[in-house]
């Protein structure tokens, strides 16, 4: 009669411990699920990669070597393999199996998040049929514009475009033709920047890509001896 009541088989605390483990695992999975719903993959604009891509395209358009040769793109990192779940021990029973299943679900949740973030890595050196066609058109048009660059009649601008610097140096009968060439080249330049941004799934990067190209166009102009117009509107050589 004096024996403790918990000495009876009905008071075995092992099922209670297993239940507690199951509850903790369920809570962990719930927390991961809530986190997954709030995850935002932040992909920052890769300015250095954009400038390397700009150097490569400028070389293709002008047919010359740029001030800074394009670098080799960084290798793509390999997504980590999915975490392997641990099989439940043979004596875990129902609660042990439940705990293992919940742990496996947590692993799958994390494995889904990590590759999604890595898949968002941009490629500013991307090439599509539209981009290749634009570059080819600009290259052909540049052959007609090249003498005007060399003579200081046309220069590049801080907006990633080109402009007529000295119209008075152009014969009257050629001015309309030159204005048309400049307008067509600027239209293709703007389309190129938009296409690169769209191909990366970030159309909001168009202005950043334009800025990166503008810097490299000016660097090329300095090397080639062309005129360029800075942000203040002054023509320099």
- The reply to whether 167 and 199 lie within a common domain is yes
Written as six digits, the tokens of 172 are 């009257």
Check whether 109 has a pLDDT greater than 90.
no
Say how far residue 25 (Cα) sits from the centre of its chain: 36
* 68 closest CA partner among 227, 235, 217, 210: 217
Alpha carbon 233 to its chain centroid, in Å, reads: 31
With 0.75 as the threshold, say if the pTM is over it.
Answer: no
Work out the pLDDT band at 42, boundaries 50, 70, 90.
Answer: low
Query: For residue 167, is pLDDT > 70?
Result: yes
Domain shared by 183 and 224, yes or no? yes
What is the domain extent for residue 24? 9-40+90-123
Residue 144 maps to a domain: yes
**How far apart are alpha carbons 212 and 192 in whole angstroms?**
13
Per DSSP, the three-state class of 82 is coil
Q: How many domains does the chain have?
A: 2
Given 104, 123, 142, which residue is the final one in a domain? 123
Residues 216 and 164 in one domain: yes
pLDDT at 70 over 50: no
Please name every residue paired with 176 in a beta bridge, in sequence order, or none if there are none.
Answer: none
> What 3-state DSSP class applies to 4?
coil
For residues 201 and 116, membership in a common domain is answered with: no
């Amino acid at each position: 009669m004096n024996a403790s009541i918990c000495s009876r088989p009905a008071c075995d605390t092992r099922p209670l411990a297993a239940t507690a483990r199951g509850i903790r695992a369920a809570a962990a999975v719930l927390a991961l699920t809530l986190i997954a719903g709030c995850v935002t993959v932040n992909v920052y604009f890769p300015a250095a990669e954009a400038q390397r891509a700009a150097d490569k395209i400028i070389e293709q358009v002008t047919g010359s070597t740029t001030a800074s040769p394009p670098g080799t793109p960084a290798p793509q990192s390999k997504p980590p393999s999915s975490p392997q779940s641990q099989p439940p021990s043979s004596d875990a029973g129902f609660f042990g199996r439940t705990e293992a299943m919940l742990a496996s679900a947590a692993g799958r949740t994390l494995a889904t998040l990590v590759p999604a973030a890595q898949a968002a890595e941009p490629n500013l050196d991307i090439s599509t049929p539209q981009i290749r066609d634009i570059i080819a058109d600009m290259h052909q048009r540049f052959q007609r514009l090249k003498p005007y660059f060399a003579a200081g009649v046309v220069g590049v601008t801080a907006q990633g475009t080109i402009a007529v610097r000295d119209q008075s140096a152009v014969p009257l009968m050629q001015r309309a033709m030159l204005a048309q060439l400049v307008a067509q080249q600027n239209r293709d330049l703007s389309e190129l920047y938009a296409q690169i941004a769209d191909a990366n799934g970030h159309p909001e990067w168009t202005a950043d890509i334009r800025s990166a190209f503008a810097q490299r166009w000016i660097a090329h102009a300095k090397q080639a001896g062309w005129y360029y117009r800075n942000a203040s509107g002054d023509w320099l050589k």
